[in-house]
Amino acid sequence: MKEQRWFAASAVLNDQMCVAGGWNDGNTLSSVELFNPVVNTWTNIAPMKTKRCGHALVSYNGRLYTFGGWDYSSNRLNSMESFDPREGKWKSLKPMNEERYGFCGVVYNDEIYAIGLLFILYINYR
């Protein structure tokens, strides 16, 4: 990758590996990188609107969705955003009901789920 990062999130978008956010040398990141295995290169795409680490990232219907985590001030987040590669930018979405970090996101039966330590939050973005 172009930038070292810890506590980042990853997903596959259009046959490329995407790594978003994370933490590096005391800074929370908003940067996003795509790895193209065909040409073995990393490229940057538009940064997320919010700096995040310990968040979730999923690919669904040709878009990326990121949610939760914590920001540069160590505040837990409930915010969500989506990246449309056709537009090349991130869009803010309705926030989750709960702040969470250190969890995972999955897509199952055309629905996005945020799965934490003690409970599951259903997110409907069809």
Q: What is the pLDDT of residue 120?
A: 46
Lowest mean pLDDT among 18-22, 85-89, 112-116: 112-116
| Calpha distance 53→34 (Å, rounded) | 17
Upper half-sphere CA count for residue 78 (Cβ side, 13 Å): 8
Q: What is the pLDDT of residue 74?
A: 73
Domain 9-123 has CATH 2.120.10.80: yes
In the predicted structure, residue 52 carries a pLDDT above the cut 60: yes
**Domain ranges within the chain, ordered by starting residue:** 9-123
Q: pTM for the whole thing?
A: 0.89
Lowest mean pLDDT among 52-56, 60-64, 100-104: 100-104
The percent of residues in the chain predicted with pLDDT above 70, rounded, is 92
DSSP-assigned letter for residue 50: S
